[in-house]
Amino acid sequence: MLEEINQAEREALEALEAVGSNDELQAWRSLHLGKKSQLKQQLKNLGRLSPEERPVVGKRTHEIRQRLEASLDARRDELEAARIEASLAAEALDVTMPGRPVRRGRLHVSTRTLRRIYAIWAEMGFQVYRSRDVESDEYNFQLLNFPRHHPAREMQDTFHTTTDDVLLRTHTSPGQIRVMRENAFDADGTPRADPDPIRVILPGMCYRYEQITARSEIQFNQVEGLAVGRRIRMSDLKGTLTDFARRMFGQDTRTRFRCSHFPFTEPSAEMDIECFLCGGEGCRVCKHAGWLEILGCGMVHPVVLANGGYDPTVYSGFAFGMGPERIAMLRHGIEDIRQFWANDLRFLEQF
């Protein structure tokens, strides 16, 4: 019986050397170490042996089983190492080959326009002031000379919330009140005798409950501007905005101001620039008028100055509001404002 189990050991080890895959390894284990293996059958025959022979054969069988299991583990490790080596060889990188170019992202056309606007106003001495998107009815309308139920509120359809008098701002003008009050009052609410002058722009997103069309969106960027100080006049407003237009669109840009009405400015105006695509001769972009409207403006209304903490008998100021998307549409001949928010790569990759 000892000769038989020794022979079984030699055959098992020879077969193990020929195993070349995990499936073959599993089949080898079942054949030589499983329930129907020769070693298992020999153990069942131990009862036929004499008491003296039984421990000798049992011990030898146990030793063979341990050796076969150790050989099995070693062969499994060899196969795994061979697999890894083959995988590395097959997937080796040739570091001398040129790499694949990484496609770089680009700034959105609205962001590019906003950054250009920021840079121009920074050169002109204006600081950037950020105000909140969620506003109260008081700041968004009342303090800007829009009394409750005033018909001028119909100009701006509003997103209201479930909380009374809380809404999404319809314009960046509420920031005018906030920046004026920060300069006109101390932290404890005490009015300052001589508030600092103000020169800021207030960029941000605005929201209006309107039908989405090629010319209108429910959200859009806006850049508000505010200057408050002593002896500020309409001529300062016109000169400042004309200088901005020339820096934005070119030194030969012609401008004009048309009378308009906004509740928070008096007098109010809208500013046009000569169409830079047709040179004022008339084209599809300017609707053959030769002029393009780019912003609304005016002198800050005395009521708004007083609401901001500035004495309108001592201080004056001007304000303006422009839409970066509109300026981008004019500069690049974009005819549909919805393209700014559609995330269509065919559109975005042009800029």
- Residue 291 belongs to a domain: yes
**Strand extents, DSSP E, 95-218:** 127-128, 134-136, 166-168, 198-207
What mean pLDDT comes out for the span 202-227?
A: 89
Check which CATH number belongs to the domain holding 298 and give it. 3.30.930.10
| Residue predicted with more confidence, 23 or 256 | 256
Question: 306: which 2 tokens?
Answer: 């007083």
pTM of the entire structure? 0.67
Chosen domain end from 63, 90, 117? 90
Question: 21: which 2 tokens?
Answer: 């895959």
Band of the pLDDT at 275, cuts 50, 70, 90? confident
CB contact at 8 A, 289 and 313: no
- Residue 17 belongs to a domain: yes
- The mean pLDDT value of the chain amounts to 86
- Residue 281 belongs to a domain: yes
Query: Both 60 and 126 in a single domain?
Result: no
Band of the pLDDT at 247, cuts 50, 70, 90? very high
Which residues form the domain of 174? 109-348
Query: Both 233 and 150 in a single domain?
Result: yes
Query: Both 47 and 116 in a single domain?
Result: no
pLDDT greater than 90 at residue 304: yes
- Residue 104 belongs to a domain: no
